Structure 1
Amino acid sequence: MNPRTFLPAFAFFALSLARLHAADAPGTKDHPMLKRVTGSEIIWGNTAKFDEMKIALEKIQYDYNAQGFKATKQETVEGAHATLYYRLPGDVSTLEAVRQYEQDLKAAGYAVAFTAANDELDDGYGRFVERIFPAALKTEGLKYLHEFNHEEQRYSVLKGKSKEGADVVVSLYAFVLKDVSTGFKKLVEDHKLQKDQTVVRVDILETKPMDARMEVVKAAEITSSISTTGRVAIYGVHFDTDKSEIKPDSADSLAEMAKAIKEGGGRYLIVGHTDNQGEYAHNQTLSDRRAAAVTSALASRYGIPSSTLIPVGVGMAAPVAPNTDEAGRAKNRRVEIVKM
């Protein structure tokens, strides 16, 4: 071969490979625990050191009389969380997409906890995504990607262990693009999305404890904040997701709260706040229970007269940060002391 023809050809081949690799959305890459389906492309991705992930364990159902979702089997798990959306090659169906991942995961010791498709997932109107991936409907691009493409869908949840022995949950949600003309133009143009292509959302969560980032607020700081603003936010009182039992590692914060309340005298509101994940009514009730739990702990463990404490739950009604990512949601999950 003539060197003059060989070199340009080689250069073109290398450039083609680079372009193929660069087709993934900027800043995204495969999760180290999972391969991708051959020929697929990452169109959107996000990782969080600590976040929560909802999984469905049975069909999502809506109660038209009550105008709300029925109680169905679900779990919420917490830990290191990665979400990746892949555009699959044109000949890959939702069934093949899910089965490819299941096959690899089962070989690694994972077991299927729940799997379903189409009418087995919800009763229409995109309610499965609304219930299980609520943040997606508040994310630019993903909102309309889901809103206009939910007629053909398949889901699978698998549970297993990482090499280090941590519990890992993987959820797979595959759906077919039926409308590529509305609301997510940038994704369509950047990744050449076409009608009848399959997209799969892959969520991987490795359970792990949250890094301790919040220092215990001392009694003097509580008193200072209340004297200046009439209130103080406490982040050191911890609860498991969707629970109202106070965790043992909250003891130091409760002790400082009690000290400040005793020294300050008077009456106080103990206010529970949640983020916006889940239904409004459910979060309202949860925040009520958490506020009551803190009030009870202050009275029973630290001798604060119960007549001086009033538990109040406001749910998601008073955020201090956007609920668009875990950092913001963490700021909104708090207990406040308000001087009356």
Structure 2
Amino acid sequence: MRPVEITIFWLTRAVAAALFAAATGIGAAHARDADGCVDHPAIERYPDSVLEWCKNDNYLPYSVPVGPVAGYRTIGEYEEIEGRVTRNFYSLKTGRTHPEVWKNYKDALVAAGFDIIAEGMFPERNVKGDIGGGSWQGVYYAKNPWGENGPVDKLVAGTSSSGGTGAVFGKKDRADDTIYVLVSLEQHSSEEVATLITVVETKPAETGLVVANAEAMGKDIEELGRTVLDGLFFDHDKATLTAESKPALDEIAKFLASTEKGFYVVGHTDSVGTFAYNQKLSADRAMAVRAALLQDYGVASDRLEAHGVGPLVPVFSNGTDGGKAKNRRVELVEK
């Protein structure tokens, strides 16, 4: 039987499901899916594939490779994005080959209005650094680790592919976000095609949901020598702490009361604006935090020293709103 198109975006989900069940017997494959795992609404699985593993992250930075390998374990060009990340790993053991599966996914993405931003397919086993090649896939997976053991790990086994490899990545703007569908696959054995589908729905990180915790700060200082002071808020482009910062200041003071150590209070900014402006703003905000701890909580002045480093020490790329928000922060650094 000729493989049907894998994604039927123009039909309702209910009609699509009925067609797939009737035409392909896909219901039986679904019955063998891993507990709690379902297809992402943006893309249907290839018929008769079994969903063996899944992982969902509400927010995660993600690096989308759109160029070939350019050096040792390095891909030359990425799109750095962030948002909700859904990863589904499928196993297909019906005698179909990975070129067939790859072509179906590509055609489905194009039919659904996705722009293809990266594609490549190699029929034979390879170590190519071109998009979709064996070496390229290894670098891509290492850049975006899934962090949990499971059937998906067969993709990164030392000799994971007995046959060819491929990848096709699509991107589509929606009303409120941009969605990426990233398909990478391999002919894992003569009987099996292994496919990882990653869907990233971009959105900025929700900030202001975490407040500094005295116990957690102590652990950070012990392990890292520094801790981010979450929950501090300033007026826009100013060094004035807002009233919403009091719960965080209470916890910071509680932590300082538990130790006799001295600390640097270090301000950080994003990269918007001139370096001189950001350096001064970061220093002013660090001094405002220090002043609040001295004046309102009685912390000894010789224990805290304020400095600002502007945009010099980012923790995320400044290319996204979420990354900028994470980079605007104040830290305590152990002297």
Shared fold (TM-score greater than 0.5)?
yes
Does residue 130 of structure 1 match 2:128? Answer: no
Partner of 1:146: 156
In the alignment, the residues of structure 2 paired with residue 34 and residue 102 of structure 1 have an alpha-carbon distance, to the nearest angstrom, of 11
Question: How much has 1:77 moved relative to structure 2?
Answer: 1.4
What letter matches 2:172 in structure 1? G
Aligned-partner Cα distance in 1 for 2:70–2:53: 28
Native 8 Å contact 2:67 2:76 kept in 1: yes
State how far apart, in whole Å, the 2-side matches of 1:233 and 1:45 are.
31
The separation in 2 between residues aligned to 1:123 and 1:168, in whole angstroms, is 20
Instruction: Note the alpha carbon deviations across 1:203-234, whole angstroms, 9 max, x for none.
Output: 111112333462455xxx88xx78xx796532
Alpha-carbon deviation of 1:301? 5.7
Indicate yes or no: 2:168 matched with 1:170: no
Mapped partners of 1:41, 1:90: distance in 2: 11
Partner of 1:336 in structure 2?
331
If the length of structure 1 is used for normalisation, what is the TM-score?
0.57
Matches within 5 A, 1:179-198: 195-198=190-193
State the 1:297 CA deviation.
3.2
**What number of residue pairs does the alignment pair up?**
251
SS at match of 2:69: coil
Show the counterpart of 1:47. Answer: 56
Shift of 1:25: 1.3
What residue number does 2:67 align with?
58
Alpha-carbon deviations, 1:238-292, whole Å to 9, x = none? 9xxxxxxxxx7997879959x999xx9x7616399xxxxxxxxxxxxx9xxxxx9
* Cα deviation 1:25-48 (Å, max 9, x = unaligned): 111111111111111111111112
Question: Who is 2:79 aligned against?
Answer: 75
How far apart, CA to CA, are the structure 2 residues paired with 1:123 and 1:159? 17
2:230 equivalent among 231, 235, 245: 235
2:173 maps to what in 1?
161
Letter in 2 for 1:161: D
**Residues 1:309 and 2:293 aligned together:** no
Q: Superposition pairs for residues 1-340 of structure 1, below 5 Å? A: 20-63=29-72, 69-70=73-74, 72-118=76-122, 119-121=128-130, 126=135, 128-136=137-145, 138-141=147-150, 142-147=152-157, 148-150=159-161, 152-162=164-174, 164-178=175-189, 195-212=190-207, 214-215=209-210, 217=212, 232-236=227-231, 268=264, 270=266, 296-300=280-284, 308-309=306-307, 336-340=331-335
* Offset of residue 202 of structure 1: 0.6
2:110 counterpart SS class:
helix
141-150 or 105-114: bigger deviation:
141-150
How many percent of aligned residue pairs carry the same amino acid? 20
Aligned AA (1:211): E
CA distance in 2, matches of 1:25, 1:250: 51
1:237–1:250: 8 Å Cα contact kept in structure 2? no
